[in-house]
């Protein structure tokens, strides 16, 4: 794993952007740029990172950066990749350009999934990075396909009858891997070495690769901005967001969790789960724990690891 001291001190993602204190996605972007190996162009979906890093006439990007729309980032990346390829073939460009597509969970799990699927199927040489803060935070914390069960958002509020989001989180990594691409990985800003390693591997792949990075949002999660890294670690340690790679369809666990921390330890630090701690909804936490246990064991099986009897 790459050590922090080995990382480039060059900041391609400049300070002075307008993202919140403790913003997970912002940290994920800075770490992402540390993995770049050469000429790189980023294309970014509409979202927190996009609006807060490029308020004209300022920009936080010291690499070329293109924003088009919300749901078309993978398609924009397809065009960029195709163009640089042909410009190089025709002799207008000498060096290869690495294309990085960046989208939030809304732009990836929901509105952008068709364009992503198309681009993965066509086999463009690019890396898709989904920074996942588990809701539409830019528009004011609305539920997405990435919002976990039980979380309250402004469109899945903690009501008297319905306590937060009732549905499950989509399995993005499995969806991407189902396209038979070479590399899919999950990562967390709580483990930067692991994340940057995975980014580097993804860039090395000739063809599409996907990195799904867990990035807490203090505003949307109603958590202490100082706890963002702690939560990014707890998400992994509770097995709610396990870290693994899928290389040519083969699952590989990249962070073993001997004794998972109970999900309630993670949830109690976040206002979005506060309602579940009321007596009438406490059984929901057990349900979620059971769900996490099942998912974790299924993942362990896929990774060829021994399943664990109980957790939490």
Partner 1 sequence: MFYKRREEYNEVIIPYQGEGITVRPQELAGMGGNEAVAYAAKQANVDVVAAYPITPQTIMVERFSEYVANGEVDTEFVCVESEHSAMSACVGASVTGARVMTSTASQGLALMHEVLYVASSLRCPIVMMVANRALSAPINIHGDHSDMMGSRDCGWIQIYVENPQEAYDWTLQALKIAEDPEISLPASVNLDGFTVSHAMEDLNLLSDGQVKEFLPPRKPVFKVEPENPNTVGAFAMPDYYYEVKRLQEEAMRKVPEVLVKVTKEYEKTSQRKYGIIETFDMDDAETAILSMGSTAGTVRSVVRQLREKGRKVGAVKLWLYRPFPSEELTSAICDLKALAVIDRAMSFGAPYGPLCSDVASILQDCESKPKIFNAMCGLGGRDISSDDIRIMFDEADQIARTGVVRDRIKFVGVRE
Residues that bind partner 1 (CB under 8 A): 38-41, 43, 50-51, 54-57, 59, 61-69, 71-72, 74-87, 89-90, 92-93, 95, 97, 114-115, 117-119, 121-122
Q: Which of 66, 68, 114, 101 is nearest to 208 (CA)?
A: 101
The whole-angstrom separation of Cα 154 and Cα 164 is 9
Q: Which is nearer to partner 1, 40 or 293 (CB)?
A: 40
Q: Which is nearer to partner 1, 78 or 223 (CB)?
A: 78
- Residue 238: DSSP 8-state: T
Q: Which of 152, 41, 21, 48 is nearest to 103 (CA)?
A: 48
Min CB(82)–partner 1 separation in Å: 4
**How many other β-carbons are positioned within 10 Å of the β-carbon of residue 198?**
27
Q: Which is nearer to partner 1, 76 or 264 (CB)?
A: 76
Q: Which of 46, 37, 49, 39 is nearest to 81 (CA)?
A: 39
Q: Which is nearer to partner 1, 74 or 288 (CB)?
A: 74
Q: CA–CA distance from 224 to each of 20, 140, 227, 263 (Å)?
A: 12, 17, 5, 18
Long-range contacts, 158-163 (Cβ 8 Å, 24+): 158/274, 158/275, 163/275, 163/276, 163/281, 163/284
Q: Which is nearer to partner 1, 61 or 281 (CB)?
A: 61
Q: Which is nearer to partner 1, 89 or 259 (CB)?
A: 89
For the chain, state the CA radius of gyration: 19
Min CB(201)–partner 1 separation in Å: 21
Min CB(83)–partner 1 separation in Å: 4
Tokens in use for 265? 């330890």
Angle at 83 between CA 80 and CA 85, to 5 degrees: 105
Tokens in use for 87? 């410009």
Angle at 97 between CA 92 and CA 100, to 5 degrees: 145
Min CB(71)–partner 1 separation in Å: 7
Min CB(92)–partner 1 separation in Å: 8
Min CB(29)–partner 1 separation in Å: 14
Q: Which is nearer to partner 1, 66 or 257 (CB)?
A: 66
Min CB(127)–partner 1 separation in Å: 15
Min CB(24)–partner 1 separation in Å: 20
Which residue shows structure tokens 């690019």? Answer: 126
Q: Which is nearer to partner 1, 72 or 297 (CB)?
A: 72
Tokens in use for 274? 């506060």
């Amino acid at each position: 794993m790459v050590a922090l001291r080995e990382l480039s001190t060059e900041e391609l993602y400049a300070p002075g952007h307008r993202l919140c204190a403790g913003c997970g996605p912002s940290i994920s972007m800075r770490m992402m740029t540390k993995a770049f190996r050469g000429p790189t162009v980023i294309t970014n979906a509409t979202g927190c990172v996009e609006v807060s890093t490029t308020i004209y006439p300022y920009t936080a990007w010291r690499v070329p950066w293109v924003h088009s729309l919300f749901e078309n980032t993978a398609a924009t990346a397809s065009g960029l990749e195709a163009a640089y390829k042909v410009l190089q073939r025709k002799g207008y460009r000498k060096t290869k350009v690495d294309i990085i597509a960046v989208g939030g969970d809304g732009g990836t799990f929901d509105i952008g999934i068709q364009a992503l699927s198309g681009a993965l199927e066509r086999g463009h040489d690019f890396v898709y990075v989904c920074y996942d803060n588990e809701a539409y935070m830019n528009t004011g914390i609305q539920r997405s396909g990435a919002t976990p069960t039980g979380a309250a958002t402004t469109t899945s509020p903690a009501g008297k009858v319905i306590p937060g989001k009732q549905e499950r989180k989509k399995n993005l990594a499995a969806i991407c891997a189902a396209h038979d691409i070479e590399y899919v990985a999950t990562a967390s800003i709580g483990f930067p070495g692991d994340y940057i390693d995975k980014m580097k591997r993804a860039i090395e792949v000739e063809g599409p690769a996907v990195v799904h990075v867990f990035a807490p949002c203090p505003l949307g999660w109603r958590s202490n901005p100082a706890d963002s890294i702690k939560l990014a670690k707890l998400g992994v340690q509770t097995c709610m967001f396990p870290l693994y790679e899928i290389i040519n369809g083969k699952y590989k666990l990249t962070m073993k969790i001997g004794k998972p921390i109970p999900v309630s330890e993670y949830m109690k630090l976040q206002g979005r789960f506060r309602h579940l701690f009321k007596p009438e909804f406490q059984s929901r936490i057990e349900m979620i724990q059971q769900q996490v246990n099942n998912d974790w064991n299924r993942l362990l099986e896929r990774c060829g690891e021994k399943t664990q009897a109980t957790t939490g």
